[in-house]
Amino acid sequence: MTQKTGRCMCGAIEYIFEADRKDVIVCHCGQCRQWSGHLWASVNAAFDKLEITKGMDRLRWFRSSDAARRGFCRECGSALFWHGDKIEGRKERIAIAAGTVNAPTDFYQGEHIFQDDKGDYYEIA
């Protein structure tokens, strides 16, 4: 496990988390496309291993479905987190936007998910 840091575009929000996975998951679903502008690429982490170290008051949550909420910076709009609702008996996880993690990330591109729901303006190689 390694500690990673990251920030939103304007720097108002900074965070630190323990990365227990290195694969970046690329989501092609319609919600992620609308939210991010194209694709949502994220790394998964345990929710209790994420700490907002700066700008907690700038972090806004948008309930994007009845199963999840999404966190973003209210100043610059950076899409930062996808947080699934707590499910009884399961470990609470959070997806952190790979593009907001400070380099060197040591991550690699992993699985593409929701490919059937992808946009009609591109192909997945």
Does 10 engage in binding with Zn ion (CB under 5 A)?
A: yes
Number of CB atoms found within 10 A of residue 94's CB? 21
Does 8 engage in binding with Zn ion (CB under 5 A)?
A: yes
* Cα–Cα distance for residue pair 15/10, rounded to 1 Å: 13
* Cα–Cα distance for residue pair 106/30, rounded to 1 Å: 28
* Cα–Cα distance for residue pair 116/99, rounded to 1 Å: 23
Number of residues that bind Zn ion (CB under 5 A): 9
* Cα–Cα distance for residue pair 47/10, rounded to 1 Å: 23
- Of 12-20, 42-50, 61-69, 91-99, which part binds Zn ion (CB under 5 A)? 12-20
**Per-residue contact track with Zn ion, 16 to 55, x per CB under 5 A?**
-----------x-x--x-----------------------
Q: Binders of Zn ion among 63-102, rule CB under 5 A?
A: 73, 75-76
Binding site for Zn ion (CB under 5 A): 8, 10, 12, 27, 29, 32, 73, 75-76
